[in-house]
Each structure stands twice: as C-alpha cells, then as structure tokens.
Chains A and B, each alone.
Chain A
Amino acid sequence: DAGVIQSPRHEVTEMGQEVTLRCKPISGHDYLFWYRQTMMRGLELLIYFNNNVPIDDSGMPEDRFSAKMPNASFSTLKIQPSEPRDSAVYFCASSFIRDAYGYTFGSGTRLTVV
C-alpha cells in the first residue's frame, strides 16, 4: 500500500487566498483525521471522519476552515481566506477500527501564508 497520500507537499500563498489541502487515506481505513502542527501548539486535532461522516469538528479554529470527505478515498481541508497565522504543517492520518492499529500519518503539507 502507498500509505496516506497528501498533496501538495508545500504550499506558499498570499494572505486572503483560498487554500485546499488534499488527502487520500489507506484503502479500507474507516477513520480519517486532520491535524495541524506548530511549534507553539504541537499537534492539534482539527476534525475527524468515520465512514466519510464528520464526527467532531470542534478543533476547527474558525469558520474560515472547512473539511469534506465526499468518498472513502478522498478528503479536503479548505482555508478561505487564509491568514499568516494559519502557517503550519497539516497532517492527514487514517486508521482502521479506531484504537486497534494506531494512526498512519501522511507526509504532511507545509503551508506558508505570506
């Protein structure tokens, strides 16, 4: 299996622009998670899905953030409009039956908003 695939690996955008991050989970995994990592706040859970349904989005910082999972093999995290404080590494992770096997993380997207 190719693992969790995220794109793009790096994104540099200007403040106010829309940013879309993409994730392809491991086939057969039923949970998908979006995390954000910064030096100050560490790894923060933004939102997670179970069988394509959003379960908990309480970690989404503001209405500027939205996430979708239209099918079992694809998810997006969108920021509109982007701000410099959104600069971080965004990770997507997937897992099977929640606790049993741990999470497999993608390589992440390093977002820089200037």
Chain B
Amino acid sequence: EPEVTQTPSHQVTQMGQEVILRCVPISNHLYFYWYRQILGQKVEFLVSFYNNEISEKSEIFDDQFSVERPDGSNFTLKIRSTKLEDSAMYFCASSEGNRLSEQYFGPGTRLTVT
C-alpha cells in the first residue's frame, strides 16, 4: 500500500542552524502539507502546497520557514535559523485532491533544537 515517507526520523540541531526535513508523498497525490505537533499539544497546520506553490500558510509559517518540491518526488521543509521552540514532531501529509480527499500522514520527523 502506498505511503508517505519522511527522513530523517530524528534530527538534533543547535539553535540558529538550518535544517531541512524531507518527505516523499504518495506518488499520484497532488496536494502536500506540513504540520507540527509540540509534545503534548495538538497537531497544527503549517503550510499547504499545490501546483508548485503555497496555497495556504499559518501564522506559524513565518519567514524562517520555506517549502520546496525540488523534483517530482520530494517535498521539503526548511527552517533557516532554528529556535528552541521549533522542537516538535513535523508531519508531512498528502492527498489526491483537497477538500474532498483523504489526507495521509507520514511517520514524522522529531526535531530537537538544543
């Protein structure tokens, strides 16, 4: 069964460093999303991406964040200068369509900023 994959599973970085989180969405899906979940808190939307551009972003997704689809399979989230409060689980998700389509999550990347 097709699934969303993410790498790495765990990333430890120092404050101020840049990190890139990688995702491979399900192959026939057209809509891509990043979410984060701080330990013990709810899942929060970061950004949605369709047709090679951002279609929606939250107030969390400030200038330190960027997304890219560098080739036909990968979807990346970059955090330019990490802060302690960026420590969280980051989930990638994908769907065939948007509002009336099932959205599937990857296993997540645990980001720890020290």
Does B bind A? no
